[in-house]
Structure 1
Amino acid sequence: MLKLCTAIANLEIWSQDKDEKINVECCYNLTQNRYTNMDVTERTHESNSLWFRLVFGANPAITLIRAAVLFGVSMFLFTVVVIPIRVQGISMLPNFRDNSIHFVLKIAYLKNRPQRGDIVAVKFIGNKIALLKRVIGLPGEKLSIKDGIVYINGEPLEEPYVKFKRARWNFPETVLRNDEYFVIGDNRSMAMEAHSFGAVNFSRIIGKLLL
């Protein structure tokens, strides 16, 4: 609201706090037909300006541009570079618990290929469901499982990450193709029929787990 000020005067009023008379610079406001304390008005305006600067900065336009850039970078980071993944089930126990959330680096294999022992996110069912698994077999290798022990090219594979007692899994020898990796969970105590594992094409590996 526009204030019409016709006169500025120093009014002498009694201060109850100080128990004395004080002078207050006032402006007579025609719209409200009363005197307005100019000092209080100026302080209120300064206070509002301070909060505005704290929120939007000295230059609101630049602040909005920065916020837009930050939002764009965040969206790019969490859709193209890194994605969250929730562990579903008990196949990775005890190293990764059911419903725990982790982050996968999607660009981990732009130049390099997965190595044995890597924990990766794999598209097992269609393109929407991803599972967390460990790479144990590499392209060109012969892999089999006998009584729960994994064999690579006829030699038993050391797996210190397998903590639970192994069930007697048996899987016939298979030769991995040039672009295939064998992935499996760390929990070998569960029934083999309830465990999703096997050879997957490199194109189905989303990325590597960020530890």
Structure 2
Amino acid sequence: MKKMMKEIRSWVFSIGLALVLAMMIGVFVFQPTEVLGHSMDPTLQDQQRIYVSKLSHTFNYEPEYGDIVIIDSRVDRERTFKDDLLDNPLIRLFQDAEEGRNYVKRVIGKPGDVLEFRDHKVYRNGEELQEPYIKEAMLYTSDEKLVVPDEHVFVMGDNRNNSKDSRQIGFIPLSHVLGKKIF
């Protein structure tokens, strides 16, 4: 009986350690996620599975222009470590996660950039962006010049006419950039 209890404890410890390691990898290193919706067509399709490097979020790296990133769209609130834990796929199995708050988008502007939307095109710092990845010409135009604040980015979907992005939700704090698509 004593030997059996020792064996059970060994299994429980091993399984517990594996779960903790899997959770830490998902919070700090990388995690799978699913694209929901058509805002990134044609680059990414609805329900496509992608893998995201969390290292940029863990070490506060600023994403590069054109990076496809996962963002927390709740830009009006501070993001906490608890949010990072609750975003983990292992935790989401056991709780009702708030759906629709994490978006997949492309980085268009970084801190200090001046963005303009004229002639159905995007201009960054006075230069028209060459965007072969967009689905179709953008219908959106504006006379306003936007300056990306420090510690923020501006993101847009590749399907510009069917994307809820920084044009609606505002600038994205770097703390809300949860990771970068790796494959």
Alignment of 1:167 onto 2:167: no
**3-state DSSP class of the match of 2:55?**
coil
The aligned residue for residue 29 of structure 1 is none
Question: Is residue 200 of structure 1 aligned with residue 148 of structure 2?
Answer: no
Asked if residue 82 in structure 1 is aligned to residue 30 in structure 2, the reply is yes
Contact (CA 8 Å) 2:121, 2:138: kept in 1 or not?
no
Task: Give the letter for the 2:62 counterpart.
Answer: R
Larger C-alpha radius of gyration, 1 or 2?
A: 1
Higher strand share: 1
- Moved segments of 4+, more than 4 Å: 59-63
The aligned residue for residue 21 of structure 2 is 73
Could you list the runs of 5+ residues in structure 1 that have no partner in the other structure?
A: 1-58
Normalised TM-score (structure 1): 0.62
TM normalised by structure 2 equals 0.70
Quote how far apart the aligned CAs of 1:62 are: 9.2
Residue 147 to residue 88, structure 1, CA distance change in 2 (3 Å): farther
* Corresponding position of 1:143: 115
RMSD of aligned residue pairs (Cα, Å): 2.5
Q: Counterparts of 2:177 and 2:61 in 1: how far apart (Å)?
A: 13
Per the TM alignment, residue 179 of structure 1 is displaced from its structure 2 partner at its CA by 1.3
1:201 offset after TM fit, Å? 1.4
Q: C-alpha distance in 2, partners of 1:142/1:149? A: 14
Q: Does the 8 Å contact 1:102/1:209 carry over to 2?
A: yes
| Identity among equivalent pairs (%) | 30
Number of equivalenced pairs: 149
Residue 119 of structure 1 pairs with residue 87 of structure 2: no
Which structure dedicates a bigger proportion of its chain to helix?
2
Q: Give how far 1:87 is off.
A: 1.4
**Structure 1 residues 111, 180: CA separation in 2 closer, same or farther (over 3 Å shift)?**
closer
